[in-house]
Amino acid sequence: MTKADVELRALLAAATDDGRTPRETRFFFYGGEFIALAAAAGRAGYEVAFMHITAPEVGVKLTITTAVDEQTFTPLVEQMYAWQEEFGCDYDGWECDLTPSNWDIANRFREEFSRGATVTTYPDEWVLAEKSLSKPS
């Protein structure tokens, strides 16, 4: 587990999300042998989508429904780093949907934290991304 993984789970916990509820979770890779990576991930049960970022950079988004608590999630992140090594791709992190036990606390947390964090808002949900977790000074 990286520091960013630990920080993201701490942010989820602060928003009353213990990570045990399965939710859509996305992992991002760029470059390398992305077609071979996509094939391996597909065999492992991930939904695979190719992303064209900027020429010639191409990315792969892997999606799976899983819990993100430490016990469940640690082997998944370890697999991402193993694929990075095996296929020469750059592993760029993960993001997941928030599934809080208390939406009032979660919404207050979102209002306070979202100034400067990577938070993608959808009509009835919001997503914290692993990248850019530093709260502004």
CA 13 to chain centre: 15
Residues near 95 by Cβ (< 8 Å), separated by ≥ 6? 25, 26, 120, 127, 128, 129, 130
For residue range 41-100, list pLDDT tens digits in order.
999 999 999 887 665 678 899 999 999 888 998 899 899 999 999 999 998 888 887 777
CATH class of domain segment(s) 3-129: alpha beta
Q: Cα–Cα distances in Å, from 120 out to 80, 98, 105, 125?
A: 23, 11, 18, 9
Alpha carbons 77 and 79: distance in angstroms, whole number: 5
The whole-number pLDDT of residue 113 equals 57
* Residue 9 CB-density burial (10 A; 0-12 exposed, 13-18 middle, 19+ buried): buried
Domain extent listing, the chain: 3-129
